[in-house]
Amino acid sequence: MTETFNDKTFLEQHIKHSMAFYHPKCIDEQGGFFQIYRDDGHIIDRSTRHLVSSCRFVFTYSMYAKYFNESDYKTQVEHGVNYLREHHLNKDTGGYAWVINDGKVVDDTNHCYGLSFVLLAYSSAVKAGIESAKEYIYETFDVLENHFWLEEFGLYADEISGDWAKVSPYRGQNANMHSCEAMIAAYEATSDDKFLQRARTIAHNICVRQADLAGGMVWEHYDENWQVDWEYNKEDPKNLFRPWGFQPGHLTEWSKLLMMLNRISPENWMVKRAIEFFDVAMDKAWDYEHGGICYGFAPNGSVCDDDKYFWVQAESFAAAAHMAIGTGDDKYWDWYKKIWQYSWDHMVDHEYGAWFCTLTQDNVKYSDVKSPTGKTDYHTMGACYEVLSIL
């Protein structure tokens, strides 16, 4: 199997196998998409809508519609965009509800992380041929610009109350990383250079300035002056959105984004830092006994969370492909095949489709819930599309 992982047909078939887990049962005819599933595809929760998941479904349908030229999937892109506009968007404030339940907003907090996925969703929709979404790209950029952008630091704030009155002092790299991803997508959708320039600014400020405060690696958490907060969530290293420790999956995800930027608008530091991030992630977090990449490691280099998360493996094989092609060093193809082989053996659900969510260090599932809130296999299918785009 190892020789086929970078084969175009293999990647296309894997995307189809993963998408078939969700389509068409994920479509709620009343609006949006059902988001929470067991391994066999049984829908656990029909009422909860998380902003990130709503956006990620728009992404997965957009990519499928564009790549495979499927008009039915394009229809579902419009279905997803309509739900964002009619339910998540607060037309009075311009913000987006974080969580909706039974059609009612239960958490209206504005998260930069969420808005970055809104921007990614609209950008993906435009790529799939939904021209009406182009104005929403600019609208969302303006919301980020007016409320989250911190000119002094050249980065985004993280969390603001629903009425925009209270800005949390917490600063995080994750929201900025996904904002960078979304800005690249917005540039690809519009060819507007301002999105590319914003992506470059974010990338440099996180991957150079901020990383240099943490030994040349990307720490997750900062105070309101963008100084490293080494203690944030130290007692909660498994926190879903803000785990403590260095995140190998984010280091490799930054490697991928830096190589993407370098293909569009190269700068010498990008490849150098991408190599450093990827190499240290594999050095510290690859599990030579059980396979796969562990979730987190501490500042002293020891693994602090040995679980195996689906998205870490997916982002890392996409990064490895970018590294292999961008550097010409075949060791990255070796990593690509090694990560894929692990994922194929343990993470991919060959029976029902899509990937399992989280495994123990020795690769045992925690539960039969495949898709908790936030997981739509955007990472896994997105990684396959990313590899297809550069093969």
DSSP string, 228-255: B-TTTTTT-TT-SSS-SSB-HHHHHHHH
CB burial of residue 51 (10 Å; 0-12, 13-18, 19+): buried
Strand bridging mode 296-297 / 303-305 = antiparallel
Yes or no: say if 119 and 183 are a contact pair by the CB < 8 Å rule: yes
Strand bridging mode 36-38 / 369-371 = antiparallel
Q: For residue 207, give the DSSP letter.
A: I
Write the single-letter amino acid at 261.
Answer: L
CB burial of residue 367 (10 Å; 0-12, 13-18, 19+): exposed
In angstroms, the first-to-last Cα distance of the chain is: 18
Distance CA 339, CA 286 (A): 9
Q: Is residue 79 annotated as a catalytic residue, yes or no?
A: no
Q: Which residue has the tokens 């320039």?
A: 197
> Catalytic residue among 50, 147, 322, 379, which?
379
Estimate to the nearest angstrom the gap between the alpha carbon of 384 and the chain centroid: 13
Q: Take residue 226 and report the two structure tokens written for it.
A: 């963008």
3-class secondary structure, 299: coil
Yes or no: say if 375 and 34 are a contact pair by the CB < 8 Å rule: no
- Residues 93, 99, 105, 106, Cα dihedral to 10°: -120
Q: Which residue has the tokens 């909860």?
A: 48
> Catalytic residue among 23, 250, 322, 346, which?
250
Q: Which is nearest to 217 in space by CA: 283, 153, 156? A: 283
Estimate to the nearest angstrom the gap between the alpha carbon of 185 and the chain centroid: 12
Q: Is residue 379 annotated as a catalytic residue, yes or no?
A: yes
Q: Give, to the nearest 10 degrees, the angle between helix 173-190 and helix 134-143.
A: 150
| Active-site amino acid positions | 250, 379
